[in-house]
Amino acid sequence: MPETRTLDGVAWQRTEDVIDAMLEDRPPQTRRQVGRFIRLANALPLIRYGRTFTELSESRRARVVDVLESAPFLSVRRGVWGLRTLVSMGVYGQNLTGSATPAWSDRPRARRARGRNTTPGSAPRFDA
């Protein structure tokens, strides 16, 4: 994602916070799958380049991502697109105020998790 090249440390932290918030809503099994895929994707370049993904140059990272995107295994291709989606949500989901709370976090499920609007059957309030 070209947009990530310009992120500084604070923006990366906010991106990670948004991703963490999105993964909190997912079942533990899904969170484990994401973690495993990240570790696998980071370790795979060791075979060809002798370095992990995070240690590679930008051009080699792009090559690794291209290979993973066209992998013969559907689960690997889905994993790449899932990570791409999470990063996109993290980058673009930050409020203009710089908050790590994603703009869509006012959905009823997220508000219930924060302890608001917990009355069963009550209509979601979007003005809160």
19 neighbors 89 (Cβ within 8 angstroms): yes
Task: Look at residue 25 and tell me if it is in a domain.
Answer: yes
Measured CA to CA, the distance from residue 40 to residue 61 in angstroms comes to 14
Domain count, the chain: 1
Q: Which residues form the domain of 16?
A: 2-113
Task: Look at residue 34 and tell me if it is in a domain.
Answer: yes
Task: Look at residue 121 and tell me if it is in a domain.
Answer: no
Among 19, 46, 45, residue whose Cα is nearest residue 34: 19
Q: Is the pTM of this model over 0.95?
A: no
Task: Tell me the pLDDT tens digit for each residue of 28-37.
Answer: 999 999 999 9
Task: Specify the residue for token string 């690997």.
Answer: 76
pLDDT at 11: 85
Task: Tell me the pLDDT tens digit for each residue of 52-106.
Answer: 999 999 899 999 999 999 999 999 999 999 999 998 888 888 754 455 555 545 5
Task: Look at residue 127 and tell me if it is in a domain.
Answer: no
Task: Look at residue 126 and tell me if it is in a domain.
Answer: no
Task: Look at residue 119 and tell me if it is in a domain.
Answer: no
Measured CA to CA, the distance from residue 114 to residue 24 in angstroms comes to 12
Measured CA to CA, the distance from residue 92 to residue 113 in angstroms comes to 22
Task: Look at residue 95 and tell me if it is in a domain.
Answer: yes
Task: Look at residue 35 and tell me if it is in a domain.
Answer: yes
